[in-house]
Amino acid sequence: MTSENKKGGLNLLPFKIYGVGYAIITILALISSFGGTYDIAPMDFAKSYKVGPESFLRVAGNYTFTSGSGAAIVLEGGQRVNEFVAREMLAQINAEKFPYKNLELYKEGWFWNLHWGGIFTFYNLLGLFVGLYFGLKAPLMAMIDDSRRKIEGSLQTARNAQTEASNLQKKYDELLASLEKEKVRLSGVLKEEQELEKEKIMKQAKHEAEGIIESIKHSVDGEILSAAERLRKEVAQSALRQAREILAKEITAEDHENAFNDFISDLERTSK
């Protein structure tokens, strides 16, 4: 297909065919309308026309007359005349009550009596559907393909986003697991440090307690020794006083002299 029959992706060939067909039908309708009519005197028509189910009559002009019953009958150009109306018209012609001197009728035959209004309507509908199908098929398919590509792109983007979200979720889970492990490790380290600190404090407290006990012990020992020394001195002094008192009461001057002599003798022995 040449580029002349396409414009902006639109196929113009069906529209061209439709235009040519429409022109042909218009020409045929004009030939049928203006070349398929004839004039006849009403009396000649009444003599030649035989009314029956198979008879055919279509007027080309507009006619209005009164039937035998007094009803008004109106015939418009191109209207098909049924058997009843044809009999009424013939009756009025024979009674010389038909108000027209000439009748303009369509010739008999299928071509001269085609219903061109129906033909145009059918052709327009057919051209519409065919033109839409063949003329808009390519751009519609292109638009559908473009929409499909966009949808597929959106779906691919969504799938990529879902994959990225899954990867982020996996990383997040791994990070949480790592943090949980680190939490457990830090809890263990903290517990160990607490135990060490507790042990250190206990040792320090024990050492301080031992120092305090030792200090108290030394202080108590010192107090005991001091108290014992004071007691010893008090006992010695008390014994000395008692001895003096006893000596003062029981030792005579002779005893003092003997003791003095013994002391002298001891000194002489010691000096030798």
Model confidence at 41: pLDDT above 90: yes
- Reduce the DSSP state of residue 58 to 3 states and report it: strand
Burial 143-160, CB ≥16 within 10 A → b, else e: eeeeeeeeeeeeeeeeee
At position 115, the amino acid (one-letter code) is: H
pLDDT per residue over 49-100, tens digit each? Answer: 888 777 778 888 899 999 888 889 999 887 888 888 989 999 999 998 999 9
- Say what the pLDDT of residue 21 is: 85
User: Per the structure block, which two tokens stand in for 35?
Assistant: 């070349």
- Say what the pLDDT of residue 229 is: 74
**Which residue carries 């320090």 as its tokens?**
204
Are the beta carbons of 34 and 26 closer than 8 angstroms?
no
- Say what the pLDDT of residue 235 is: 66
- Say what the pLDDT of residue 12 is: 72
- Say what the pLDDT of residue 266 is: 66
User: Per the structure block, which two tokens stand in for 141?
Assistant: 């398919």
At position 174, the amino acid (one-letter code) is: E
C-alpha to C-alpha distance for 257 and 202, rounded to whole angstroms: 73
For the chain, which residues make up each domain, given as ranges? 12-135
- Say what the pLDDT of residue 99 is: 92
- Say what the pLDDT of residue 253 is: 65
C-alpha to C-alpha distance for 180 and 164, rounded to whole angstroms: 24
pLDDT per residue over 144-184, tens digit each? Answer: 888 888 888 888 888 888 888 888 888 878 888 887 888 88
At position 64, the amino acid (one-letter code) is: T
Model confidence at 2: pLDDT above 60: no
Model confidence at 5: pLDDT above 60: no
- Say what the pLDDT of residue 138 is: 65
Q: Tell me the pairing of strands 72-75 and 63-66.
A: antiparallel
C-alpha to C-alpha distance for 153 and 165, rounded to whole angstroms: 18
Split at pLDDT 50, 70, 90, the class of 249 is: low
pLDDT per residue over 106-134, tens digit each? Answer: 877 667 767 777 888 888 888 777 777 77
Look at 142 and 46; give whichever has higher pLDDT.
Answer: 46
C-alpha to C-alpha distance for 188 and 197, rounded to whole angstroms: 14
pLDDT per residue over 211-230, tens digit each? Answer: 777 777 777 667 777 776 77
- Say what the pLDDT of residue 101 is: 92
